Amino acid sequence: GQQVMQIPQYQHVQEGEDFTTYCNSSTTLSNIQWYKQRPGGHPVFLIQLVKSGEVKKQKRLTFQFGEAKKNSSLHITATQTTDVGTYFCAPIQENFNKFYFGSGTKLNVKP
């Protein structure tokens, strides 16, 4: 199946600190999606990146897609307690038929 590594597995930060999670693929991707899952909840779509080198922002969240379309990152500036949850990347290959997810990064924010 799709080889994708997501790091770190866990991150504990103080409220106000920044946070970054990385998703690295062994193969070139067509596009990549990011999801957030709150504790006890279901995954919710955040964004999709399609173009090489693409950068998208959603308020304090910045998403990047690497130039080679093999890696991606999600950066949160000045975390808040509402950012708590697990963040998953979902890399999508050409000739897509199956969905794969990274193992997720669990973020805990201390107030």
Partner 1 sequence: EAQVTQNPRYLITVTGKKLTVTCSQNMNHEYMSWYRQDPGLGLRQIYYSMNVEVTDKGDVPEGYKVSRKEKRNFPLILESPSPNQTSLYFCASNGGNLYEQYFGPGTRLTVT
Q: Token digits for 100?
A: 């794969």
Angstrom distances, CA of residue 31 to CA of 16, 64, 77, 93, 102? 30, 11, 24, 7, 14
Q: Which stretch binds partner 1 (CB under 8 A): 14-22, 37-45, 52-60, 62-70?
A: 37-45
Token code pair at residue 75: 């950066």
**Out of 30, 52, 58, 81, which residue is the one contacting partner 1 (CB under 8 A)?**
30
Report the length, in residues, of the chain. Answer: 111
By CB under 8 A, which span of 17-25, 56-64, 70-78, 98-106 interacts with partner 1? Answer: 98-106
**Least spacing, CB of residue 97 vs partner 1, in Å:** 7
Binding segment for partner 1 (CB under 8 A), chosen from 17-25, 60-68, 77-85, 92-100, is 92-100
Closer Cβ to partner 1, 45 or 68, answer by number:
45
Burial of 13 (0-12, 13-18, 19+ CB in 10 A): middle
Distance, in Å, from the CA atom of 66 to the CA atom of 78, rounded to the nearest integer, reads 23
Q: Which chain residues interact with partner 1 by CB under 8 A?
A: 1, 6, 9, 30-31, 33, 35, 41-45, 48, 50, 88, 90, 92, 96-104
